[in-house]
Amino acid sequence: MSNISQKKYSKTKKGIITRKKHQQSIKYKNTKKLYRQTTQHKTYIKKYNQSPKRKKYLSEYQKTEKWKKYLKKYRQTPHNIEYVRKFSKEYYYKPQRRLWFKKYLQTDSYKKNLKQFRQTPKWKNYSKKYQQSSIYKDWVKQNEKTPRRKMEIKKYIQSTKGKLTRKRILAERKRKLNFVPIMDNPFPKEIKIDYHHVNDMFVIPTPKTLHRSKLGKQHRPIINQRINNLGFDLKVFT
């Protein structure tokens, strides 16, 4: 049979059925396996993978839903999980990688990206779930008594953010008030401040001496008036 007649025959129904049967035979599979191990086949595959035709096909195929579904399934296979673990152990624990990562954590770009990511709903949902998990609770139990953890807590309590959090918790627990700041601290660092409740929800930073100048039942209306006298308009909130 000539090459032309053979090509025509392979396109016919009979030819397709014959080819499929031949491809399923053990003899064909063994010859294919042997051929794939030859240098001739390996060089051909190398050239083909670098060709523009192959790259174009891959870029188009990787956008399809079929590829995404296959990738999702493959990532969950035991073979892939084992490979990733082995690779990560070899790669991530290298001294060069550790040095690079240490430097990268101190860069402005990393800090900026981390700050943006921590404001996303994805991060908030993850952190909420993680804090409720048994893994996090066990970690807290193990580390809360260590000197490093004690130092971290001490630093946080003395920071402005820590002081604000403490005041908010006390307001919510003891006085059953909300704690929503309506503005940042406009006073210089030298002046000590308290957070005055304009109403049951909103608070405003006020100098400590002014905030404690009037206590008792008339504390809120009088301090509100004195803050208004400084140039702050609190009529919207009262």
pLDDT mean over 56-73: 90
Alpha-carbon distance of 195 to 179, in angstroms, equals 9
Domain annotation covers residue 29: no
Domain annotation covers residue 194: yes
- Whether residue 65 has pLDDT greater than 80: yes
pLDDT mean over 116-123: 91
The CB-side HSE value for 211 (13 A sphere, CA atoms) comes to 14
Domain annotation covers residue 160: yes
- Whether residue 72 has pLDDT greater than 60: yes
Domain annotation covers residue 175: yes
- pLDDT tens digits along 182-232: 777 777 888 888 888 888 788 888 888 888 787 777 888 888 888 887 777
Alpha-carbon distance of 85 to 9, in angstroms, equals 50
- Max CA pair span of the chain: 110
Among 161, 205, 162, 211, residue whose Cα is nearest residue 181: 205
Give the domain range for residue 218.
147-229
Indicate the average pLDDT of the chain: 83
In percent, how much of the chain has pLDDT > 90?
14
- Whether residue 166 has pLDDT greater than 80: no
Q: Are strands 180-181 and 202-207 parallel, antiparallel or unpaired?
A: parallel
Domain annotation covers residue 202: yes
- Whether residue 4 has pLDDT greater than 70: no
pLDDT mean over 158-174: 73
**CB of 217 closer than 8 Å to CB of 233:** no
Provide the pLDDT for residue 226: 82
Domain annotation covers residue 140: no
* Total tally of structural domains belonging to the chain: 1
Domain annotation covers residue 93: no
Domain annotation covers residue 154: yes
Q: Structure pTM? A: 0.35
- Whether residue 173 has pLDDT greater than 60: no
Provide the pLDDT for residue 222: 84
